[in-house]
Amino acid sequence: MNSLQRSAASLLAMVTLVLAACGPAANSSPTSQPAWSPPGGGTDASWDQLVSAARAERTLVLSTHAGSGYERFVQAAKEALPQLEIQGTTMKASDFVPRVVAEQQNGQYLWDVHVGPLSNIYTVLTPAGGLEPIQPYLDAVPSAIKDDSNWYGGLRMFTDPAKPVSLITSLTEAGGVYVNRAQIPAGELARPEDLLDPKYKGKIVAYDPTVSNGGSMSLAGLAGDQGAGFLRNLVQGQEVTYVETSRQATEWVAQGRYAIGFGMDDTYLTELQSRGVGAQVERNRDFGTYVLTNGVSVLKNDPHPNATKLFMAWFLSKDGQDAWAQYASVDSNSRRTDVPVYHESALPDYQNLAKYRVIQGTASGDEILQQTLQVTNSKR
């Protein structure tokens, strides 16, 4: 073999090695995730037709709340429904709702379904006519999934019973007052009245409570128990600082810049505390709490209605609700009776829901929220 032949042989060997390194490992073969099927195996002819129609549409455009847990939930949906290309977008409802309203006003109907907090969906998107009646989508869900005995309070719990467009799938006890115990010793700030103590003046921060969000809802929970006059004395007399994001409020309380906070981000607080920041910040649930509705809504003129129905069946099933309760956030749960409790601290008393005066995403909650917004905006 001459030098030219030896060079060619060496080059061929090198190319072979590179291709082997870049290619799949020996004896490996791609595996596909088995598609989810409802209880009973999904052998009903109507179910098979729905799956075929959804597969033909191919795509589902899904919106849910912002955060890594919600991203993990979207991934669980993709794994359960591999026959669909799920385009999942995670953003806060306070950002999603005005975006959808603007799009629809310009004749753009881009979204299929939203899952997550329902307060802004109820107060803005519902009166704007941005949602489809949800009953036709529920009709396509297999009966075993819809069995009322599997749901606290029965399946059909809507934000507005007179206009059933959003189904409530979970209720979360949220809000409360967050206290940095490095600045305020345990035992102090034990009653709502203590918030008005002059020594806390200028030491309270709230996630912008002039709009509907976790900050205003926490203050609404306080107003529901103490009245609008108390709330006015708090935000004005104590010079409560407003900040634009819940993340900023969380950081400032965790860092000790403020001793008391409303509208904190529990997921982000947990992350900070895992890094040793704000280890002494605790949530006082004795006042300022409220119940937040979470659930599912179908957007007006959804472009992939059969894919939406397929997703709806999975989401309402034990498997879908378990994925939501387990992954979505540090306080997520499900109204399904057969789903484990992963976040005990945020679980409401499903057997006695009447005791909650402020349920955001319903008429009673909205009434108190609007009163709160009047007070918080008057501080400006």
Q: Per the domain annotation, does 12 fall within a domain?
A: no
Clarify whether residues 143 and 281 are in a common domain.
Answer: no
Q: Per the domain annotation, does 33 fall within a domain?
A: no
Q: Per the domain annotation, does 95 fall within a domain?
A: yes
Determine the pLDDT at residue 42. Answer: 53
pLDDT, greater one: 28 or 55: 55
Clarify whether residues 58 and 164 are in a common domain.
Answer: yes
* Domain of residue 218, residue span: 174-290+367-378
pLDDT 10s digits, 326-369: 999 988 999 999 999 999 988 998 888 877 778 888 887 888 99
Please tell me the distance from the alpha carbon of residue 178 to that of residue 259, in angstroms, as a whole number: 8
Clarify whether residues 304 and 231 are in a common domain.
Answer: no
* Claim: this prediction has a pTM higher than 0.85: no
Clarify whether residues 156 and 85 are in a common domain.
Answer: yes
Q: Which residues contact 201 (CB under 8 A, 6 or more apart)?
A: 237, 238, 239
Clarify whether residues 162 and 179 are in a common domain.
Answer: no
Determine the pLDDT at residue 360. Answer: 86
Q: Would you give the end-to-end CA distance of the chain in angstroms?
A: 89
Q: Per the domain annotation, does 66 fall within a domain?
A: yes
Q: What are the tokens at 160?
A: 């507005």
Reduced to 3 states (helix: H, G, I; strand: E, B; else coil), residue 180 is strand
Clarify whether residues 300 and 159 are in a common domain.
Answer: yes
Q: Which helix or strand (DSSP H or E) is residue 327 part of? A: helix 318-327
Choose the weakest-confidence range: 28-42, 179-193, 226-240, 267-281.
28-42
State how far the alpha carbon of 143 is from the alpha carbons of 48, 50, 149, 306, in Å.
15, 15, 12, 17
Q: Which residues contact 165 (CB under 8 A, 6 or more apart)?
A: 126, 131, 132, 133, 134, 158, 159, 297, 298
Task: Return the residue matching tokens 């709009």.
Answer: 211
Please tell me the distance from the alpha carbon of residue 227 to that of residue 7, in angstroms, as a whole number: 88
Please provide residue 6's backbone torsions phi and psi, each rounded to the nearest 5 degrees.
-65, -40
Report helix, strand and coil shares of the chain as percent, to nearest 5: 45, 20, 35
State how far the alpha carbon of 217 is from the alpha carbons of 48, 156, 176, in Å.
44, 25, 10
Clarify whether residues 184 and 167 are in a common domain.
Answer: no
Does residue 325 contact residue 338 with C-beta atoms inside 8 Å? Answer: no
The one-letter amino acid code at 339 reads V
Please tell me the distance from the alpha carbon of residue 214 to that of residue 267, in angstroms, as a whole number: 13
pLDDT 10s digits, 192-218: 999 999 999 999 999 999 998 889 999
Please tell me the distance from the alpha carbon of residue 373 to that of residue 47, in angstroms, as a whole number: 46
Does residue 109 contact residue 301 with C-beta atoms inside 8 Å? Answer: yes
Clarify whether residues 56 and 140 are in a common domain.
Answer: yes
CATH number at residue 234: 3.40.190.10
CB atoms under 10 Å from CB of 159, counted, come to 26
Q: Per the domain annotation, does 134 fall within a domain?
A: yes
Reduced to 3 states (helix: H, G, I; strand: E, B; else coil), residue 168 is strand
Percent of the chain with pLDDT over 90: 73
Q: Per the domain annotation, does 300 fall within a domain?
A: yes
Residue 274 has pLDDT above 60, yes or no: yes
Clarify whether residues 189 and 228 are in a common domain.
Answer: yes
Domain count, the chain: 2
Q: Per the domain annotation, does 24 fall within a domain?
A: no
Determine the pLDDT at residue 33. Answer: 64
Residue 17 has pLDDT above 50, yes or no: no
Clarify whether residues 168 and 298 are in a common domain.
Answer: yes
Clarify whether residues 201 and 98 are in a common domain.
Answer: no
Q: Per the domain annotation, does 5 fall within a domain?
A: no
Q: Which residues contact 290 (CB under 8 A, 6 or more apart)?
A: 173, 174, 175, 217, 218, 220, 221, 224, 356, 358, 359, 360, 365
Choose the weakest-confidence range: 1-5, 141-145, 227-231, 240-244.
1-5
Please tell me the distance from the alpha carbon of residue 287 to that of residue 226, in angstroms, as a whole number: 9
The one-letter amino acid code at 227 reads G
| Mean pLDDT taken over the chain | 89
pLDDT 10s digits, 334-345: 999 999 999 998
- Residues β-bridged to residue 296: 115, 167
Clarify whether residues 186 and 325 are in a common domain.
Answer: no
